[in-house]
């Protein structure tokens, strides 16, 4: 199934608005007012992918960021469960759309949090992401559909990998006595840390 969330910071694209992911979800819930068939144009300029489905998981609306995220133009009222072309677990195993976090949120009628997955675009690029599937309820408490915010955590994961490589280089350096090898490992650690810092600055 899906993987649990790593300890990395994953909300940078949403934080550019001064809001975290959960706050964006609340803004979207207010804009939709429990109606998955509306046209919440106020959400179209969000820099993070967000889409809405009916109670059967059929996509009724998506914002422009979904096209960049998925590498394709979703088809409203036809696509189901997710805007992504293909889904995979963090281990790279195929994840059927009807077993994705949004599908679970709809079937169980509850928000799903703390999970991650990978979306594969038609061009082969893979995007690690953290979803925020959240059910919609109307004023009478009737379940009407769901929304999903997809936060791209690819850069955050890459940054974590660079930092992990740097830590390994520094640990290995302490076990070696050869000055040239020590200097090489020190340089490698510094390069990994520089690459991680550049990713953090561009997030």
Domain borders along the chain are 3-152, 157-202
What is the CATH topology of the domain spanning 3-152?
A: Beta-Lactamase (3.30.450)
pLDDT digits (tens, 9 = 90+) for 24-62: 899 888 888 888 877 677 788 888 999 999 999 999 999
Q: How confident is the model at residue 192 (pLDDT cuts 50, 70, 90)?
A: low
Q: How confident is the model at residue 1 (pLDDT cuts 50, 70, 90)?
A: low
Q: How confident is the model at residue 7 (pLDDT cuts 50, 70, 90)?
A: very low
Residue 42's pLDDT is 77
Measured CA to CA, the distance from residue 81 to residue 55 in angstroms comes to 10
Q: How far is CA 43 from the centre of its chain?
A: 17
Q: What are phi and psi of 38, to 5 degrees?
A: -80, -175
Q: What are phi and psi of 84, to 5 degrees?
A: -70, 150
Asked whether the beta carbons of 116 and 109 are under 8 A apart, the reply is no
Measured CA to CA, the distance from residue 40 to residue 193 in angstroms comes to 42
Q: Which of 57, 84, 81, 58 is nearest to 69 (CA)?
A: 84
Considering the chain, what percentage of its residues have pLDDT values greater than 90? 49
Residue 6 confidence (pLDDT) above 50: no
Which pTM was predicted?
0.74
Residue 9 confidence (pLDDT) above 70: no
Residue 86's pLDDT is 97
Asked whether the beta carbons of 134 and 26 are under 8 A apart, the reply is no
């Amino acid at each position: 199934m899906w993987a649990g969330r790593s300890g990395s910071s994953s909300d940078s694209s949403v934080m550019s608005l001064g809001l975290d992911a959960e706050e964006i979800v609340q803004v979207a819930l207010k804009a939709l007012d429990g109606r998955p068939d509306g046209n919440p144009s106020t959400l179209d300029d969000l820099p993070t992918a967000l889409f809405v489905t009916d109670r059967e998981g059929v996509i009724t609306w998506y914002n422009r960021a979904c096209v960049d995220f998925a590498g394709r133009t979703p088809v409203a009222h036809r696509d189901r469960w997710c805007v992504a072309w293909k889904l995979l677990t963090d281990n790279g195993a195929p994840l059927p759309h009807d077993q994705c976090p949004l599908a679970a949120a709809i079937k169980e009628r509850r928000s799903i949090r703390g999970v991650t997955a990978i979306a594969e675009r038609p061009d082969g690029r893979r995007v690690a992401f953290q979803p925020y599937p959240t059910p919609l309820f109307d004023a009478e408490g009737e379940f009407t559909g769901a929304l999903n915010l997809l936060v791209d955590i690819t850069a955050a994961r890459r940054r974590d990998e660079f930092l992990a490589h740097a830590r390994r280089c520094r640990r290995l350096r302490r076990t070696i006595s050869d000055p040239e090898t020590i200097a090489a490992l020190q340089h490698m650690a510094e390069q990994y840390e520089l690459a991680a810092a550049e990713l953090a600055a561009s997030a």
